A and B are shown apart, each in its own frame.
Chain A
Amino acid sequence: MSKPAASAALPIAHVALRVLIVLNWLAGAAVAAMLVAPLTGRWLLHAYHLSPSPDADRLVMACRAIAAVFLVAIPLHYVVLKRLLAIVETVRAGDPFVAANALHLQAIAWMLLALQLLSLVVGAIARAVSTPAHPLHLRAGFSISGWLAVLLTFLLARVFAEGALMRDDLEGTV
């Protein structure tokens, strides 16, 4: 019963990851366009129902800074998705316990760590400009589950490295 579910999960994961890679680049392009577009400031003021003022300028600046941080995250997302895709490919090929996958997982763990740090930066920016009158609610900042995911991925990378060594030993056994 678990076999058909597993065989369906891999093609779904493969397609989902490819779609996410494209969406990630599209999101990056959209945010980059917003950053350079001359009317973005005015659009933000309109969205927050603000009239031009120093507070409003700070909010616009903060939004631009957050957008810039988001742009930094785009290549990090890409590395995570691309490496995950490579792991899925090895699972599909029937040989996931290889040293390359341990390296993929380690790279993913470092990217997740960097993303958590970026999230802290975004959370700090949002807190700095948020006022009771114009609160800036963003799902950013410290996240226990996010940091747990980082830890788990580093551990998983180590498990895969050990698994690959054991697999190597097994292959040299007659």
Chain B
Amino acid sequence: MAIAVKLDDLLHDRRMTLTELAERVEMTLANLSILKTGKARAIRFSTLEAICGALSCQPGDLLRFESEQAEREPIAR
């Protein structure tokens, strides 16, 4: 998928576990796991707001667009 979720990096930087985040944002661990592993098809604004609030970050820190073409041809030059 072209949108990469950087939840793992954010959690690592903040020394926080997924379980702790789940408790803070009042989401199930299963749903957060779906998001973390990039299996989610969509994210609600309310979820984004809660995660950004809990991790003190911007939506752009959590999500990043990665061109699929660039993924296929990593180092062409």
Q: Say yes or no: is B55 at the interface (Cβ < 8 Å to chain A).
A: no
**Bound: A67/B44 CA distance, A:** 60
Range of interface residues on chain B? 10 to 19
B42 contacts across to A, CB distance below 8 A: 169, 172-174
Report B24 CB to chain A, min CB distance, Å. 15
Q: Say yes or no: is B35 at the interface (Cβ < 8 Å to chain A).
A: yes
Q: Which of B34, B41, B43, B47 is most buried by chain A, counting CB atoms within 10 A of its CB?
A: B41
Report A168 CB to chain B, min CB distance, Å. 8
B39 contacts across to A, CB distance below 8 A: 172
Q: Say yes or no: is B31 at the interface (Cβ < 8 Å to chain A).
A: yes
Q: How many A-B residue pairs have CB under 8 A?
A: 23
Q: Say yes or no: is B63 at the interface (Cβ < 8 Å to chain A).
A: no
Range of interface residues on chain A? under 10
Report A97 CB to chain B, min CB distance, Å. 16
B40 contacts across to A, CB distance below 8 A: 172-174
Chain B: CB-nearest residue to A168:
B41
A169 contacts across to B, CB distance below 8 A: 41-42
**Bound: A55/B2 CA distance, A:** 76
Chain B: CB-nearest residue to A171:
B41
Report B53 CB to chain A, min CB distance, Å. 16
Can you list, as one digit per residue, whether each of B20-44 has a CB less than 8 Å from chain A (1) or not (0)?
A: 0000000100011011000111111
Partner-B contacts on A (CB < 8 A): 168-169, 172-174
Partner-A contacts on B (CB < 8 A): 27, 31-32, 34-35, 39-44, 47
Between A and B, 15 residue pairs with Cβ closer than 8 Å are A168-B41, A172-B34, A172-B39, A172-B40, A172-B41, A172-B42, A173-B40, A173-B41, A173-B44, A174-B32, A174-B34, A174-B35, A174-B40, A174-B43, A174-B44
Q: Besides the contacts A168-B41, A174-B32, A174-B42, what 17 more A-B pairs have beta carbons closer than 8 Å?
A: A169-B41, A169-B42, A172-B40, A172-B41, A172-B42, A173-B40, A173-B41, A173-B42, A173-B43, A173-B44, A174-B27, A174-B31, A174-B34, A174-B35, A174-B40, A174-B44, A174-B47
The 8 A-B pairs at the shortest CB distance, nearest first, are namely A172-B41, A173-B42, A174-B31, A174-B40, A174-B35, A174-B47, A174-B34, A174-B43
